[in-house]
Chains A and B, each alone.
Chain A
Amino acid sequence: MIEQAVFWMLGAVMIVGALGVILLPNTINSVMLLLLSMLALAGIYVLMGAHVVALFQIIIYIGAVLVLFIYVIMLLNLKEQGLKLPMQTFTYIISGFSLGLLVVVVWLFWQSLWGTTFTGGAGNLKASATVHQLAVDLFSQHILIFELTSVLLLVAAIGAIIISKK
């Protein structure tokens, strides 16, 4: 019961935070609300028993990514940016199309989730995300993907050096 209550509260905080990110004119406020939204997401991970993932969420997203966001905003010295879309017929067509897509996606989820007990797929994955289990998975089952990440990082590093070199 208390889990339910916590889940709905966290969900509400996430949605409000996410809406604030796109609706507020001041970019710093947007980032702060993104932080709120991500904290709530970390809370939901904790609720699911995935403590390590929650920790990663806080360390990586809040600790690193958001700090970078703020850093860039301060670097660019962004002032209040009002949302000014050109109000042409094209804008309306695109907006209508996006709304239609959203309705279709929501309808699909509604169809698949409502009144069915979720047993297949991710539903039967029991959260056993201890550090030990993660390490075992990473270095046995996913060793290839783990190694490929290092190649990706190497390529990204070379690219960054070339692009920034005078």
Chain B
Amino acid sequence: MDFTIPDVNFISFAPEVILLLFATILLFVQSGSGRRGVCALLAFLALVSNILMTPFYWGKGIEGFGGLIIRDNFSIMCQTMIIVAVILVIVYSYQYLVFEEKNLGEYYTLLLTSVVGMNIMIASTNLMVIFMGMEILSMSLYVLVAFFKTVREGMEASIKYFLLGAFASAIFLLGISFFYGASGKTGLDAFVMFDATSKLTVPFFFVGISLIMVGLGFKIASVPFHMWAPDAYEGAPTSVASFLSVAPKIAGMAVIFRVGIEMSKYFPEVMLTIIAFMAVTSMIVGNFAAMRQSGLVRMLAYSGIAQVGYMMISLLAIPQGGGSALLFYLSIYVLMNMGAFGIAVLLSKKKDKRVQINDLKGLAGEHPVIAFTMAVFMLSLAGIPPTGGFFAKFYVFTHGIEAGYLWVVIIAVITTVASLYYYFRVIVFMYMTEEEAGILPKNIGINLFNFALIVAALLIIVLGVIPGSLLELAQQAVVF
């Protein structure tokens, strides 16, 4: 009954504290003209300070709060990816979002708090802490999706996302209760209690894990929990949609990976069945639904669902070192998907209606550089050498075969070939249609936005030609 002062170890939580500090400061930035730069700069500083801190954490495995927060290399790498994604979102928002110059501070506050939520999700193996992180993330996202509440679709998308998201959270929480009921613990280390032979309370445990997987499946928008994604992306401001399609997926995949490590030690077949089912259905549904879309954002949403399917193949091969393949894929995915959404942001700024794939017509003639970056992103998403996307897919597929899941990899290859259709359609529209007056102005000039796109495209090519260093980093990150 005695009160023991908890072992807090503030260092382990410093990045989140800094983010929250900046988020609070941003709340006090008064709206008015000329505040765009101030807000964006503050948010940017918070994220950059977080990135600068990572070398000090790398390889140390700092723990805090009695093991509730674990900064191992895996979490550091995932968090860095998320921060890169959010920095790109800030660039998009700063340059190309039509702001009513209102609530600017809150917009960036919510971006930062969502990063805090994801950081916490990734850096913990305790399901209660993961749940809290997930809720902080979800709350921020619900509001961000509805940020332009003058747009009717924005409100509709947010309500849809909110209702389904609240439902998924409740299911996740129910899963934790079953997990706790069966083991008396909320940490993922509870698996140790179970021998494969002991039948007692194991069914409870399986129900718990299945429900937890449902909650996470919703966050990463994998089939059959993907229904919200296209509508939410389309209704949200495009810069938020780009964020939505990348960052929560990284956090969700990280948590699934942590659950998967423990599951593959004790009950491999249960986990593998769930993962294989989600991977195969995601690839099939995502790719074939993307073919029929005419809206650019919707197409990218379905392509994102398909990409999640490819990533999940690496989870089938956790004992064979699939974690490094997952991290490599995620790193490339951040760049290529954020880049592709960046083009959508660029077009949506100039157009009131939804961006159609047709709007890309003749882009190459007027804006060769932007068209080139878009072509790189599309080729990378399709998995064509020499882009990073090719190597990411290749690496994931080899791991899948190594783990003995040849049939899943065969389906993956078939769906990849099918996906060429809709990725190449974009390139064909840009390069091979007759010139007509595009919706972009003739001269965009060089700005931060173009610069970010070009850097992302070059990085994808560089990582496709020399993937060694990133791969090595990923391999270091999954050594626990």
Contacts and interface: CB of A to CB of B under 8 A. Distances in A.
Given A120-B193, A120-B200, A120-B201, A151 B113 contact: yes
A140 B3 contact: yes
User: Among the interface residues B20, B109, B120, B136, which one has the most CB atoms of the partner chain A within 10 A?
Assistant: B136
A124 to B, nearest CB: 7
Contact of B136 (A108, A116, A155): A155
B182 A165 contact: no
22 contacts: A111-B203, A112-B202, A119-B200, A121-B183, A121-B204, A122-B181, A122-B182, A136-B3, A143-B65, A145-B132, A148-B120, A148-B136, A151-B20, A156-B139, A158-B109, A159-B142, A159-B143, A162-B103, A162-B106, A162-B147, A163-B143, A163-B146
A151 B201 contact: no
A152 B1 contact: no
A132 B1 contact: yes
B20 A121 contact: no
A92 to B, nearest CB: 19
B129 interface: yes
Interface in A120-158: 120-122, 124-125, 132-133, 136, 139-145, 148-149, 151-152, 154-156, 158
Contacts of A132: 1
Interface size band for B:
35 or more
A85 B2 CA distance: 57
Given A121-B182, A140-B3, 4 more contacts: A119-B200, A152-B135, A155-B136, A165-B103
A56 interface: no
A148 B132 contact: yes
B116 A151 contact: yes
A112 B207 CA distance: 11
B456 interface: no
A90 interface: no
B102 to A, nearest CB: 9
A69 interface: no
B466 to A, nearest CB: 40
Given A120-B184, A132-B1, A140-B6, A159 B139 contact: yes
A154 B19 CA distance: 14
Contacts of B193: 120
Given A121-B201, A122-B184, A108 B142 contact: no
B37 interface: no
Contacts, number: 104
Contact of B129 (A105, A145, A162): A145
Contacts of A121: 180-184, 201, 204
B113 A143 contact: no
Interface in A40-97: none
B4 to A, nearest CB: 6
A143 B199 CA distance: 34
Interface in B167-203: 180-184, 193, 199-203
A118 interface: yes
A115 B110 CA distance: 51
B65 A158 contact: no
Interface string B61-101: 00001101100000000000000000000000000000000
B8 interface: yes
Contacts of A158: 27, 106, 109-110, 143
B475 interface: no
A45 to B, nearest CB: 15
Contacts of A151: 20, 113, 116, 136
B116 A108 contact: no
Given A122-B181, A143-B6, A158-B143, A152 B109 contact: no
Given A121-B181, A163-B149, A105 B120 contact: no
A119 B135 CA distance: 33
A109 B204 CA distance: 7
Contacts of A133: 1
A125 B186 CA distance: 13
A53 to B, nearest CB: 14
Nearest to B184: A121
Nearest to B3: A136
Nearest to B128: A145
A122 B106 CA distance: 42
Contacts of B183: 120-121
B5 interface: yes
Contact of A155 (B113, B199, B204, B206): B113
A161 B3 CA distance: 38
A159 B136 contact: no
Contact of B139 (A112, A119, A152): A152
A81 to B, nearest CB: 18
Interface string B16-41: 00001000000100000000000000
B140 interface: yes
B133 interface: yes
B269 to A, nearest CB: 16
Given A121-B184, A162-B103, A105 B140 contact: no
A94 B3 CA distance: 52
Given A120-B200, A155-B110, A159-B140, A105 B3 contact: no
A112 B201 CA distance: 5
Nearest to A142: B128
Contact of A149 (B109, B132, B181): B132
Contacts of B116: 151
A111 B4 CA distance: 41
Contacts of B103: 162, 165
